[in-house]
Structure 1
Amino acid sequence: MADQHTPDSNEPSGASRLPAAATEPGWERAALERIALAAISEQRAARRWKIFFRFVTLGVVLLLAWAVFDFSGDKVSATGRHTALVTLEGEISADTNANAEDIDSALDSAFDDAGTAGVVLQINSPGGSPVQAGIINSEIRRLRAKYPSIPLYVTVGDMCASGGYYVAAAADKIYVDKASIVGSIGVLMDGFGFTGLMDKLGVQRRLHTSGENKGFFDPFSPDTPKMDAHAQEMLDQIHAQFIEAVRQGRGKRLHETPDMFSGLFWTGEKSVEMGLADGFGDTDYVAREVIKAPDIVDYTVKESITDRVARKFGAAVGSAAVHAMVLGGKLNLR
């Protein structure tokens, strides 16, 4: 027979090998209590983190709301005698920051402030919409007549061309840098024609209109002499309006040359010689030396976050479709 193992009297039994706490009466209840307390602690920690993240989210929302409502550019703090600044930056268009509504609103606020000693319109623009530029030009002339004791000066940055100069011509005086680009008094209509490419690809354009001229400037239809003549007539009319605005604004200071209204542009130094500008200086110089009010208050309308999103969305969805599918060409002063 196989030998049977007989437990040594000195070897501890299974019960005696358990921890001392497990041999005490009610140890199961104590273990459950410890497990329950640990679970409650974890729940409390999770709740604290949840509250923390809620406060962070609330802070972000409040910050965005503050940015939207407090930086709309509609309010300017009250101040003493000062130079009012309005900035026109970039392409002049209804769907950019340099739109007539915002520029006119800023100019109105600047002139209406009792502390304004003079207004500086700071321009850095290659041009843009003749309609938007014409509206701003008219508003400047209206405000100058309404507030005859408050001068309006234009200071030019890198560029004041075409539609930008259309706006500037209404000012009392124009100050430039010697290297600024000034002029480009002309009008253009740009677009594309795809008829040759469509023929090569075997694509047929199917355009149905009511009215024999409704399909004018469609980029997928061929040019016609009548269409070209009509386009040129429109361009010539707008060009004449532009020239008249320049002559009216600059008066006898203008030294007209055969190329002045041809669409050419010149340096700021040459523009002073031609009478397109009056002198050299930036905004600080004009405020300090010309207006004699070195304190500058900015009245420029600042675009809010919601406006920026809406403007970009609207421009992407609406403007591209209108220009590409309806007009096929875009009038520009640049």
Structure 2
Amino acid sequence: MQDKWRESSSEATSAAEGRIESDRAWGLVESLAKGALLEQRRSRRWSIFFKLLTFCWLFFSVAVIYNATNVNDVSVGAGTGEHTALVDINGQIGGGDVDADTVVTGLRSAFEDPGTKAVILRINSPGGSPVQSGYIYDEIIRLRGMHEDIPLYAVIMDIGASGGYYIAAAADEIYADKASLVGSIGVISSGFGFVGTMEKLGVTRRTYTSGENKAFLDPFQAVDRDAAVQWQQSLDTIHLQFIDAVKTGRGERLVDDSDIFSGMVWSGEQAKQLGLIDGLGSAGYVAREVVGEGEIIDYTSRLSPLEKFARDFGAGVSATLVEALGEGFQLM
């Protein structure tokens, strides 16, 4: 009996020791797992830190390079002698390349400098926003009225079409190269229609709006004829505003030809024959031969790298949304 009790006691002791060893093993495994998890978290934090550091370094480097290659060589003040002022419009108007407020800032600085003998607005743009184009046009008319002794010449580079030409029409005279593309006096609104495709795929469009015409440009819905007629009237109205601005700016220099306002683009030579421009020549030619002052000072107002990044990012998001919805119109 006593021997059995001893055997039972020995077995219990062995089992207890086994459990202790097992608990120690699991404790060790748990400790190792926690250590590995902490190390992984620590490694992830450092990885994120170095990635952020690298991004900041790259952003800073880009900003420095941008500033170094886009120095605004404006010399404004009472100490400047007589010169020809230059303001650039380069790219799509209101689409991320050209901002109306920035252009207007440069124009105001150019006109207000006492040494400015004339202003050259150098244009290389396919067009863009009718609102921003009209704003620059109106500001040119206002500045010319305030500074009647300072003429403004528009010089078209590769292209001065749609909104680009809208702005040029406000100038005293317009010049271009013989191969420049000039004109495109019209308005466009474009998109896609996917109604048939959705029917074939068995996809149903669900749109909730407040206002019966709110989604009339939705590419996934059938065209609403009444809304389409109204939209066309809006485009026609803007086209007439464009035509009126050109006629006001060019006056009797325009040839009596209805094709001028058809949206067609003309070469520099053709544009001169139609009265859309006054002569052939570059900005340097105009400064030397027309203004009589070969020294050119650039008054183009440029955004800082951070401002440009914020503007381009916002414009990119907006453009993507507009293209996706198929909404909006442009002088292009």
Contact 1:191/1:330 (<8 A) preserved: no
Deviation at 1:219, TM superposition (A): 1.5
Alignment of 1:251-330 (within 5 A): 251-325=251-325, 328-330=326-328
Aligned length: 274
- What residue in structure 2 maps to residue 195 of structure 1? 195
Alignment of 1:64-213 (within 5 A): 64=63, 73=72, 76-78=75-77, 79-93=80-94, 95-213=95-213
Q: Unaligned regions of 5+ residues in structure 1, if any? A: 1-56
**Alpha-carbon separation, structure 2, partners of 1:89 and 1:259:** 27
Matched position secondary structure for 1:231? helix
* 1:76 to 1:324, Cα distance in 2 relative to 1, 3 A: farther
- What residue in structure 2 maps to residue 333 of structure 1? 331
Deviation at 1:71, TM superposition (A): 6.3
**Alpha-carbon separation, structure 1, partners of 2:60 and 2:184:** 46
- Give the counterpart letter for 1:91 in structure 2: Q
- What residue in structure 1 maps to residue 18 of structure 2? none
* 1:75 to 1:209, Cα distance in 2 relative to 1, 3 A: same
Deviation at 1:319, TM superposition (A): 3.4
Deviation at 1:121, TM superposition (A): 0.3
Contact 1:193/1:221 (<8 A) preserved: yes
**Alpha-carbon separation, structure 1, partners of 2:73 and 2:81:** 19
**Alpha-carbon separation, structure 1, partners of 2:251 and 2:143:** 19
Contact 2:73/2:298 (<8 A) preserved: no
- Give the counterpart letter for 1:153 in structure 2: Y
Contact 1:205/1:220 (<8 A) preserved: yes
Deviation at 1:99, TM superposition (A): 1.6
- What residue in structure 2 maps to residue 224 of structure 1? 224
Bigger shift: residues 294-303 or 244-253: 294-303
Bigger shift: residues 139-148 or 301-310: 301-310
- Give the counterpart letter for 1:242 in structure 2: F
**Alpha-carbon separation, structure 1, partners of 2:289 and 2:177:** 16
- Give the counterpart letter for 1:82 in structure 2: H
User: 4+ runs of 1 displaced by more than 3 Å?
Assistant: 60-78
- What residue in structure 2 maps to residue 235 of structure 1? 235
* 1:209 to 1:62, Cα distance in 2 relative to 1, 3 A: closer
After superposition, the CA RMSD in angstroms is: 2.4
TM-score, normalised on structure 1? 0.77
* 1:61 to 1:244, Cα distance in 2 relative to 1, 3 A: closer
Q: Say which one has the larger Rg.
A: 1
Deviation at 1:212, TM superposition (A): 1.2
Contact 2:110/2:116 (<8 A) preserved: yes
Q: Unaligned regions of 5+ residues in structure 2, if any? A: 1-55
* 1:306 to 1:74, Cα distance in 2 relative to 1, 3 A: farther
Matched position secondary structure for 2:156? strand
**Alpha-carbon separation, structure 2, partners of 1:112 and 1:319:** 35
* 1:62 to 1:274, Cα distance in 2 relative to 1, 3 A: closer
Deviation at 1:322, TM superposition (A): 4.3
- What residue in structure 1 maps to residue 5 of structure 2? none
Calculate percent identity across the aligned residue pairs: 49
* 1:62 to 1:199, Cα distance in 2 relative to 1, 3 A: closer
